[in-house]
Amino acid sequence: MQSTLPNVHIEQYEGPYDLLVELAKKEQIRLSEISLQSLTDSFLTYIKEREIDPEIMGSFLVVASTLLLIKVRQMVPSLAHEEEEEISDLHHRLALYEKFRAVSEILAARWNTKPLLPAHHFAEGEFQEPGSEAFMPNISSELLHDALQNLIGRIPPPPKPSAHLTRRGRSIKELFAMFQDRLDRVKKLIFQETVHGSSRQDQAVSFLAVLEMARNNSVRLEQEEAFSTLTVHKI
């Protein structure tokens, strides 16, 4: 199911308050104790549909329960005085959160634009250049010679040139047709038996052909466990 929040471009909400503030913005309402309940459905939809980090899921649920409580109160007016505190508490917390969120946006815009710099700020960069002394501990020409010898010794000998050309394998189209043809006759076959004796490349392409057929819903694949017999059923 597609999300009901198509216009929100933030990839992940940082927490339940963050989500509520964004929802309110989107629906162009001011957050108040009354308006909160109109956000309940969108809030619940969001937490149902997204994968929320389990580490922070709990905090989403706490807020969800308060939102539900507000909704229940509206539907059952006799409960109007129940849990009043919890609801106004959420409202106050959201108001406070919004203040910090606002200054955090100001600070984000300022971040790293005109930093105050410490002593050696520029010199540090120079010292970290590779090739400075720290990166060249006691290098001698003997050491380099030995290292090179060692490296050459580890290079594997080149493979003998092969005298024959590789046979061109059969195309996926050919193998697809071959499987279709056989299945028309036998209705079911064992993959391993069918490809037995053909080249490794043909076996691999056959497998792709069978996968393609399964994707088309023209066959059903059955395998008890990994690497065991693969049965191809015609549908």
Partner 1 sequence: MTSLTQHIEALLFTAGEAVSISDLAQLLSAPEQDVQAALGELAQHLEGHALALVTTATHAQLVTSGSVAEFLAQFAGQDGKELSRAAMETLSVIAYRGPISRYDIDAIRGVDSRRMIRQLLLRGLLHQTRTAAHASLYDISEDALMQLGITNKKELPQFEALSKSEHIDQLLNSSK
Binding site for partner 1 (CB under 8 A): 10, 14-18, 55-56, 58-59, 63, 89, 92-93, 96-97, 99-101, 103-104, 106-108, 110-122
CA angle 18, 42, 67 (to 5 degrees): 75
Which of 114/185 has CB closer to partner 1? 114
Q: How far is the CB of 27 from partner 1 (least distance, A)?
A: 19
Task: Give the angle 55-61-63 at the CA atoms, nearest 5°.
Answer: 120
Nearer to partner 1, 58 or 177 (CB): 58
Give Cα 199 distance to the centre of its chain. 37
Q: In what order do the strands lie in the sheet with 230-234?
A: 188-190, 230-234, 219-223
Q: Are 186 and 150 in contact (CB under 8 A)?
A: no
Minimum distance of partner 1 from residue 127's CB (angstroms): 13
In the complex, the smallest distance separating the C-beta of residue 83 from partner 1, rounded to whole angstroms, is 14
How far is residue 70's CA from residue 63's CA, in Å, rounded to a whole number? Answer: 11
Smallest distance from partner 1 to CB 76, Å: 26
Question: Which lies closer to partner 1 via its Cβ, residue 17 or residue 179?
Answer: 17
